[in-house]
Each structure stands twice: as structure tokens, then as C-alpha cells.
A and B are shown apart, each in its own frame.
Chain A
Amino acid sequence: MEGTDDLFDDIIMCEQRYRGEGYEEGLAEGNSAGESEGKQYGAVYGARMGSELGCYLGFASTWRLLLVPASDDRQRRKIKALDSLIAMIRNFHSDDPTNPNLQEDMANIRGKVKQVCSMLNIQPDFQINPSAKGLSF
């Protein structure tokens, strides 16, 4: 009967080994699938973000150069708002998705863009989208 105990041990070890083998195989596959999937989502999300930010920068920089230098108070305020928007975009660490202030900074930038458009009395061609989806999943 002493062989029985050994056999039970063997069975348990076998179970563990098979489980482990499956796990290792799954892990490798999961790693690669996850990375690929993450990159795909990240690239698309980042692309949208980059396009949006770039668009605001180009828009603000162009308007900054279109406006005649401070002729009156109202003009001065417009220029000030544009300068502040350009500074906000330049100081924004846009390419770091782990930045904890990413959403908040982005919301502030969008707010500034809306304010600038209102001050300039124009409706831009692009959408100022305040409802970007969350970063993590």
C-alpha cells in the first residue's frame, strides 16, 4: 500500500506541473497579446490627443500672429489669453499617459480654447471635445 501515497503525491505534483505549464504558456501569450492590444489602443488614443493639442497650438499661434499688437484693452486681453493658452499647451506633458494631471490639464486647456474663441468671437472649425474617455482600462 505504500506505493499509493507516492502515487497521490505524483498526481498532485502532476496537476501542479500541468497547471504551471499551461500558465507559462498563457502568460507568454497574454503578455504579447496585451502589449499588442495596449499599443493599439494607446496609439489611437494618443493620436487623437496629439492631433487635438497640436490643433490648439497651431490655432493659438496663428491667431497670436494675426492680431495687431495691443491697440486697446480688449485687444490686449485677447493677446494675453492667447499667450496663456500657448504657454499651457507648451507646459503640458502631453506624451506621458501616466501623468496624474493629464485629464485636469487637458480640461483646463479646452476651457482656455473655448474662452479664446469666445473672446475672438469665432466658431472654430474643429470640435473642442471635453468628454475624452478615461485613460486606463
Chain B
Amino acid sequence: MAPVNLSHRRTHNLLLISKLLSLRDTASPLTLLQDSLEQPATPLIKEYIRRAKLSKVHVTFIAFETLKKPDGVDAFVSTRRKSPADIAKEVAAAYQPAATGPSRHPGFHLPSFLGSFIASTGPSAGKADASLVVTWHQDVPALPQQNHYSPSPLPVLTYLATSIITLHSFSHILAQKAARDRSLAAPVFGLEEEQDGVLLGRLDKLAGTGAAEGIVLELEHRRKSGRGVLEWYLLPPASQYSPQHVKEVVTLLDDNVLYNPPMEPDTNPDDDEPKSTFELGLTDRQRRDREGVVLPYFDAQHGDGPGEGGRILYDMGEEDDFDEEEDEI
């Protein structure tokens, strides 16, 4: 890829993720976070909340599986044993100061509930100039539906979402890339290992990945114009920057040193001979002499007539014993 192209992509796409994560200008009314046990969305949600705090945005947290109100959340709506309509009402009451509501959505709710939730929140979100962030656990198997003909919840969500962020663990991405570079089968982790008794494969240190911390975000953003943007980003762990940090912390995955190690500095194209203590090169004179050497049977290759080419010219030596019957020259 040409360097100019990359730098253009970098400026453009970093601006985009910054806009999305800070929920500026309702860049994405409905963001879908697809996480898994190997890389939960919790750190990204925290990052959303941190940025919302910095830009003084109101945060409503609709909790389907969280008990405790996370830090920095303005309104916390617990949903246990509540009907969708009640939840929508509570949420509407919570966002008086017209703002945004990152919510967590568990992966196992009935589609009817899901649909009505989106339908009821969608319009009000538009009115109130709010953005909705929804979490979907990819690894929770989809439960059978009541209505077999309606689309299942995940396609509905991905269809409706304006941007979809799929989360990956950086160390796993590195391990998979390392395998790919060697043309090996990519390793799998956690549930995909299909090993008895293993739910999570994530361990602090995976062999060979060093101190690869952070989350890889695979972003698919759909613009109003219809053009889509696909990009891979890296979000460093929260411990590496202060909560008040304003500048963009997310980088492109391609810019990461671990993922895309810089080329060897020694890339002079003229210098393509192997290094050795022996002089393997030829001087000009030697090269000229080499070209002057006449190879054996050189003449035989210039056959004049048919059947002549390829004839072997052979001079009998004294030790050769010529036999009329067998040998024919």
C-alpha cells in the first residue's frame, strides 16, 4: 500500500472512530458491540463512559445483567422482571437532559422483546438526539424462536445498526497473525477449542505474544451516503492513559509495531547478494572471460539440416575399444 494512501486512511479513519466513541454529532444512532468471552465489551463500555464524562454527556445505563451501577453513569435502569414498555418509560424519564444512553443488552432476549425495545427506543432516541450502544454476546447460542419465520435477533440488530464493532483480544489477533504468516492453521481460543471443561481460554500471557495488551476493534460503519467503512483499530488498556486524557488513544491496528513490525532497515535493492566472508562476486574481466568460454558440444547445437542437430561429435580415444556391431557413431 502506498504510504500516501495509508496516511490519508489514518487521518480519516482515526477521526471517524474518535467521533464514534465520543458519540459526537450522533454519528451513529445505534452502535452494536459484538463481544465474546475471549474479549468482553466491558473495557470499551468504560471507554464510552469516560469520553461521555469528558464531553459532559448524560449517560443512561440500561442493565440487563449488571447489578451495580458503574462509575460515571448518570442514570441506572435495572430491567429485571420489567416489561419493555416499562423500561422504555423509565429510560425516557431518565434522559431529561437530552443525551446519550449506552445500554447493555444481553444476548438472550426474546426477539419480540428486542424488537419492541428497539422500536420504542428508536424514535425517542432520534427525538432526544441520543445514541444507543448495544452489547451482543456472540458466543451465547441463539435460542429457538417463537415465530420461526421472523428474522432472528442478531440479523435484526446488524441490519438496524449504523455501526458494528466486533471486539477481539489483541494477543489472540497476534497469535493468529503469527500462525498465518507461517501458513499454519490459526489457533482458536476458549469455547472454540471445544475442550471439555473449558469456557474461557484467555490467560494473561499467551506464549509468544509478549505484553500485548489492548482490544482490537473491528469497525463496520455505514454512512448515510450508503458507503461503508471497514477498519481495524487498537484500543490500549485503560491503565495506559489517564482518565482525563483528551487526545485520541485509539490507533490503527496496522500502525501497531507488534502487529505490523517495521521492515528491516536494510532494503537496498542493489545489494541482493548473500553476505559472506568469501568474495562471491566477479570482476568485469572475469565476467568477460566467462562469457568467452566455449562450452563442449557447442557446435552440435547448430544443426544445419534435419537430423543433424543434436549429433554427438566424438573422437575416439586410444583406450576406446570400437565394436562394429554395437557402436555406431
State yes or no: do A and B come from one complex.
no
Give chain A's interface residues, CB within 8 Å of chain B: none
Give chain B's interface residues, CB within 8 Å of chain A: none
